[in-house]
Each structure stands twice: as C-alpha cells, then as structure tokens.
Structure 1
Amino acid sequence: MAIIPDHPAQGRVTGDGAELAFGHWPGQGPAVVALHGLTASHVNFAGIAERLAGRRPLLAFDLRGRGRSDKHGPYGMAQHARDTAAAMVSFGLGESVVVGHSMGAYVAVALAAMYPQRVGGLVLIDGGVPVPAPPVPVEQLLAPQLARLHQTFPDTESYLDFWRALPVFPEASWDGPGRRWVEAYLRYDLGGEPPALRPRASADAVRADLVDSLAPEVLRERLAGLSVPVLLLRAEHGFLPGQPGLIPDASAAAELVKDFTDRLLPGTTHYTIAMDEPGATTVADAVVEFARRCDRLKEHG
C-alpha cells in the first residue's frame, strides 16, 4: 500500500515535561523512531517514509522547540533524549531502531547512552559522530537557514520562493519526487497567520542545541559506552552540492563504537540524503536491512 508522504497520522504526546508533536506512517513490524535536525520537524522524514513503503512503521517526533511541539526549555541533547524516552514509553515501545538525521543523530546517541533499554540500534544520518571543525563557524555556514527564524512571510508561496532562491536544494529537487517532500516539509514549517507567517522553530532552542551538539568530550563518552549496533550513513557533499562532506571519514567513531558500520552515499548532500533521491530510497532500504539485523540480534539474545 502506498504511503502518502505529506499526510502521516499526526498528534501530540507527553515528553519529559513538554508536549511533543509527532507523525506516524504505518507499516509492518516494530516501529522505527526518527529524530530530525537542528531547525527541522518530523516531516523531514516524509521521503524516507514513502520509500519505506510500509515495510516498517515510522514514528517521528518534533523535538522540543520545533514544529508543533512545546517551545519552552530546557534544551540540549540530554533533554531531547529524556523527551523521546518518555514519548516512547507513552507509545509502549521497547527496544527500537532509532534514526537520527543531523542534530537528531546526536540526540539518538544521547538516547542510547542514557536509556539503553529503549534502543536496539542506531542509524545516524550525516551526524552523531565527531566531526572536524569547519573552515568557518557553523553559524556562518547556516546563516540563511538561521536568519529565516527571525523573518516573517506574507504567504506560503513566498516562503517556498525564499527556499528556491537558496542553493540548499538543487534545481532537480524542485522537479522530481523530492519536490513533494520538500514542499510538504516547508508548508508544515510555517506557523501563525498571513501576512505574518513565521518558521515554527524557536531561535533560542536552535542556539542552545547548536552549542550542545558540538560538545566533543561528552559525545565521545556516549559513543564509547554504546552496546548496540550503529550504522552511519554519510552524505558525499556538505550543506551544498560540491562542498566537502561534513564527515570526511568515520575513523574517530569507528575507534569508539564496538559494532560500527560506515557507509558513504554518493550524490547526496546533508539535506538531500533525507529529502530527495537517491538519498531517501537508499536510506529507507538501509534502515529496513539494519532493522532486520537488529531483530535477529534481539532474538538470539
């Protein structure tokens, strides 16, 4: 049965002192839990959910401070992990495969370290591992995306035009299947009423989480303590096509994690690895295969 990418079942669930919005795409077997990036929402996974095609259910949350979740603090990777663990309890989930994209990958690592009984395996999409310092501050690399949090837009089309003018999504992303996924994500991203629509992500949350996700020693300690399989899916390019990848190699993580697999996805950027082709299909197939492996490991103790 085809999955409608921009119409998952949606609702709200109690986290750790905050209400979290979620999207759920149906499928067979145990649900995969998905955690999005710095300024994103659960709709970031629309393309991956469609390409899963019901082979696994996908349950994705709006992290605190994003989307339609509560906006009050505290923030940070540990707090997002507490929220996610509480939400998983509400859904009655046991050991689950957890997928994190970008900052969501760092939240996934914190979740596995703090609540090992909730996590059966991690799929880290272009994040979650130590990365070399960029040539310029991250805030500068993400300047247009972060600036939008302080802007208002008269209507949805103006917001889509704002993104079309950025080089983040190549022209092909607006013509192929990725267009539906990107537009669904951007339409969900806006809150308020015309003519003063505003992105839903809290600037305070983004600022706090950006600093926290880059704390190297805490990350290394969490990775070293993991006892579950970890699959890293790296984008070939950085934020923009042609830029060096954000994770040029995974040697630092491989030295820390006992059961670690590294895979580079050619032709993808940090964004298109989740929200366009060939990224969405490749990630979905990898998640299904990895989840089956985790199921087998659980069966054999």
Structure 2
Amino acid sequence: MRHGRWRFLAGALIPALVLHVVFVLSPYAQAFYLSLTDWTGVAGQAHFVGVDNYARLAEDSLFLDAVRNNALLLVAVPLVTIAIGLFLASMLHLGGRGGRRGIAGSGAYQIVYFFPQLLSLVVVAVLWSFVYNPNNGLLNGALRAIGLHGPSWLASPSLALPAVMAVLIWSSVGFYVVLFSAAIDGIPRELFEAALIDGAGGWTTFRKVTLPLVRDTVQVAFVYLGIAALDAFAVVQVMTVGPGGPDGATEVVGLSLYRNAFQYGKFGYASAMGVALFFATLTLAVLALRGGRKTAAGLA
C-alpha cells in the first residue's frame, strides 16, 4: 500500500515539477546567463562579458531615472491603495448600526468598486488617456466647467508620474476593497460588539480591532501592490509620451528593459536589467513578509 501511495504521488508531482523547471526555472537561468553576455538577439553571437552589463547600469542615467520612478511608485501606490481599500471596506462593514452590520447595499458598492478589475490594464490605460486629454478630456472638461484651466497632464514632467500613479491606484483599489471586506467578514462579531459596549468609537474600533486582525491580509496586499509598482510597464507604455516621457519623468525599469531588448537589440544588457528587477522584487517580498512576522510576534 505504501509503495502504491508513493507511485501515485510521484506520478502526480513529477510531470508538474518537470513543466515548472522547463517553463519557469529554465527561463530564469537563461536570463541570468544572458545578463553576463553581450547577446544582440542573433543566435551564436553571444560573448561573455562578465559583470560589465551591471557596471553599465550604475552609469545609465535613464535607468537611474527609471529606478527613482519605480521607487516613488513603490512608496505611493501600495500605501495609498491599501489606505483607501481599508477605509472603504471598513465603512462598508462598520458603517451601520451595531458597529458591525454594515451600510445598506454594501454588496452593490463592492461590485461597483470591483468593476475596474474586469478591464485589462491596457484598456484602463487607453481610457484614462482620453480622460487626461488636455483638449477634450473628461478631467479638463470638468475643470473648465468650473472656470479653471486644466494642465496637460501627461506632457508635464511634474504631473505625468502622479497621473500614472492615480491610474494604478484607481485600477487596483476595488480588488483590495473586496479582499479586505472578506478579511473583515472573518473577524468574530463578538469583538465588535465588545468594543461597542466598551464605548469605542469608529476610529478606535478600526485601530484596536480591525487593523490588527487583518494585518496578514494587508501584508500580502503590500507585496502584490509592490510587485505591480515595480512593473507599471503597460500603463506607462500606453499612456505616456515617448513613452517614458516627458524627459524620462515616467520611465520605469520594465520600459527600459523592453526598449533595450526589442528596439536597440541589447538583449544581454536588458537581461541585466531584468535580473536587477528580479532581485529588487524578491527583496521587497522577503522584507515585507519578515516585517509582518516580526510585527505579529511583537503584538503577541
């Protein structure tokens, strides 16, 4: 019986493991190797250059601009999205009487908030490009209606990156409203009732009851949003002038990687960017998960 069980486990796991190695781990290994070459995309023309590609990254001003912009996205997008998501989820669940029942029609609100998730990120970027249009866009049209002159949002170096951030936040917040709502649903009702009996207000209930008990969900949300912020390729590619402009104001690492590989034929250099982005993402995930465990241990 034991041998039959092991044969069954091996038959179930080995094909999946082989597919994972071939289609997931193998491309990673190839990318690491290519980052040490000067490959131009032509078979047989890769020469080993060691860490020269990585040394060039430190001197590439456009890549450094991309790193700076990704860092700003990494700070702003997760924090603002999580804050809005937690606020809306808390209002939907804690806004009714009794401190727990939630407001009327909360399910319909969640559907409305979730709607952007039904659209691909490229479609979202195209729609918001029309919204930001300086001549006949919805945003500037609304400003003109109240007597204000709207700027050229995506052509201004100081406004282009915040405009991209706003799109990323708008497209993500609905999913996290639903996610945090599900986490709040898992909190025992008795805890909210006890807080209400003790005279705790809405903010105190959120800070002392809701937030500690959804901390794990917030931690996971931060990791996923951080990964999205480190990418941001699709939105920048579709929405911005250049793309990556104006004057590198919206340049991100993913866009620099794409341009060097598929426009300039510098696949080895682009692979070095990809490896750097991989380790940045891995570091973010490790720090977020370890920080969450330390916080949980401190609370315990």
- Give TM-score, length-normalised by structure 2: 0.24
Higher alpha-carbon Rg: 2
Hey, which of these two has a bigger chunk of strand by percent?
A: 1
Hey, which of these two has a bigger chunk of helix by percent?
A: 2
